[in-house]
């Protein structure tokens, strides 16, 4: 948080339900520690995979150095007078990693642990992600180190507007286009768009993930979760898993986790465990994802959901037996100390960098198939791309059209990554990084940058 509120600590809880407005009712929930996270940083995780792929591709050191570093890193002061009457100074960041393939693109995170190292890592991940799904963007990320669960709606709005005032010069529909991430949602995007508009005139394409009433795209809110489910259904037959009878566990029940769970359930799959920042529950007969989403939307948390499930130690979530485990919370949550307890057959990474390299090696050795973040959670940025295209044309597609086009892109990307993994005899993550890096290298060298 900002200087004055930093001592209040933070549970890492999200802004609201991920489906509407930031919800201050979360403050009233008794805070319990979530599962432990690794000491390895998001940046170390991304660098590990980049270096491995750069080595396999035989990239010269100087070229790798260009691709590894950010184009621009902006750190700004975000001073806001909160309802206690004092000015609190938050730190805001926007990192533009690589723009060889198009305008910079990436979410904005509101979370107490946001810092430059994390934003830099997430920006780089976006560069490889947009290249893996082959949409015409570069990679960026932003964030403010505030804790939305402890802020009033008006305070959040002031932070969003103040942040936009400080970074608008490096943004724009042809330059860099933010979107929602942890702790932000469609409402925050509306405030960002409005603030940008005051300075530049009405410009809906300057931000994606906006509310439908403000030229947001149908299907954007569910898009990341939908993409997770689409790649799962592609991957499942390779492991003889029938998606309509699969069991799954979700870690994190915000935008990505709740939509992935609901869409898995729509297919007939059964959620046997779920956690958020406040606790975890398990239920072999199945936990109703729609009812849980409604409960969370009304201000409840996973642990106090009265749906026939039992509360478990959040540390034990990973040990639940299931066909597929879906991390959908923060980075580094699957690590060397808990990976060997996992009893899933497949992991589909809804979150960014949820798995440390050591945990990845443990799971791979044990034969767990991992569909990596740069592929699995790209559904959000794909529909953000659709939103941007619609905004630039002042036109709107139907939800069916959006979902169908999303499915085409996700399935094609899955096949390309999976085929390359088979050809190389590697898991999917190294194959995905190689594919993404290769595409960025081609664009950068064609432009004459490298």
Q: Least CB distance from residue 242 to ligand NAD, whole Å?
A: 26
Taking the complex as a whole, the smallest distance from the CB of residue 131 to ligand NAD amounts, in Å, to: 15
Residue 63 or 409 with smaller CB distance to ligand NAD: 409
Looking at beta carbons only, is 183 or 372 nearer to ligand NAD? 183
What is the smallest separation between the CB atom of 226 and ligand NAD, expressed in angstroms? 10
* Closer residue to ligand NAD in complex, CB, 92/252: 252
Residues that bind ligand NAD (CB under 6 A): 12-15, 18, 34-35, 180-183, 224, 251-257, 275-277, 328-330, 350-352, 377, 380
Provide the minimum distance between the beta carbon of 450 and ligand NAD in the complex, in angstroms, as a whole number. Answer: 28
Instruction: Kindly name the residue from 141, 150, 169, 405 that is annotated as catalytic.
Output: 141
User: Residue 429 and residue 412: Cα distance in Å, rounded?
Assistant: 16
Select 283 or 444, whichever has its Cβ closest to ligand NAD.
283
Output the residue with the shortest Cβ distance to ligand NAD. Answer: 254
Which is closer to ligand NAD, CB of 204 or CB of 354? Answer: 354
Give me the least distance between CB of 189 and ligand NAD, in Å please: 11
141 noted as active-site residue: yes
Enumerate the active-site residues.
141
């Amino acid at each position: 948080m900002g200087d004055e509120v930093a001592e209040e600590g933070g549970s890492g809880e999200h802004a609201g339900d991920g489906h509407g407005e930031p919800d201050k009712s979360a403050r009233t929930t008794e805070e319990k520690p979530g599962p432990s996270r690794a000491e390895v940083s998001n940046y170390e995780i991304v660098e590990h995979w980049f270096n491995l792929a750069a080595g396999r591709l035989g990239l010269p050191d100087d070229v790798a150095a260009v691709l590894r570093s950010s184009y621009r890193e902006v750190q700004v002061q975000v001073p806001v007078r909160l309802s206690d009457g004092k000015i609190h100074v938050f730190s805001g960041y926007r990192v533009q990693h690589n723009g060889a393939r198009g305008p910079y693109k990436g979410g904005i995170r509101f979370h107490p642990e946001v810092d430059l190292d994390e934003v830099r890592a997430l920006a780089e991940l976006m560069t490889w992600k947009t290249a893996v799904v082959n949409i015409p963007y570069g990679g960026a990320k932003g964030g403010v180190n505030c804790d939305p669960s402890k802020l009033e709606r008006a305070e959040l709005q002031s932070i969003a507007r103040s942040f936009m005032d400080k970074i608008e010069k490096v943004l724009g529909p042809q330059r860099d286009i933010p979107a929602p991430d942890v702790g932000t949602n469609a409402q925050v995007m509306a405030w960002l768009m409005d603030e940008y508009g005051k300075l530049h005139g009405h410009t809906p394409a300057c931000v994606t993930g906006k509310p439908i009433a403000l030229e947001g795209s149908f299907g954007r809110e569910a898009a990341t979760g939908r993409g997770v489910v689409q790649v799962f259904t592609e991957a499942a037959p390779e492991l003889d898993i029938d998606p309509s009878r699969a069991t799954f566990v979700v870690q994190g029940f915000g935008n990505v986790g709740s939509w992935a769970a609901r869409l898995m359930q729509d297919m007939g799959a059964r959620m046997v465990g779920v956690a958020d920042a406040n606790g975890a529950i398990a239920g072999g007969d199945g936990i109703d994802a729609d009812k849980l989403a409604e409960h969370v939307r009304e201000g409840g948390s996973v642990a106090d959901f009265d749906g026939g499930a039992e509360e478990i130690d959040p540390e034990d979530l990973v040990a639940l037996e299931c066909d597929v485990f879906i991390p959908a919370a923060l980075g580094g949550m699957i690590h060397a100390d808990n990976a060997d307890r996992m009893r899933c057959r497949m992991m589909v990474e809804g979150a960014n960098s949820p798995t440390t390299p050591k945990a990845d090696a443990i799971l791979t050795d044990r034969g767990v198939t991992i569909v990596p973040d740069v592929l699995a959670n790209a559904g959000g940025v794909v529909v953000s791309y659709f939103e941007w295209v619609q905004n630039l044309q002042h036109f709107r597609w139907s939800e069916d059209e959006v979902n169908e086009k999303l499915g085409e892109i996700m399935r094609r990307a899955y096949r390309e990554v999976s085929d390359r993994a088979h050809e190389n005899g590697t898991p999917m993550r190294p194959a995905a990084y190689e594919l993404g890096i290769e595409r960025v290298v081609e664009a950068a060298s064609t432009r004459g940058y490298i």
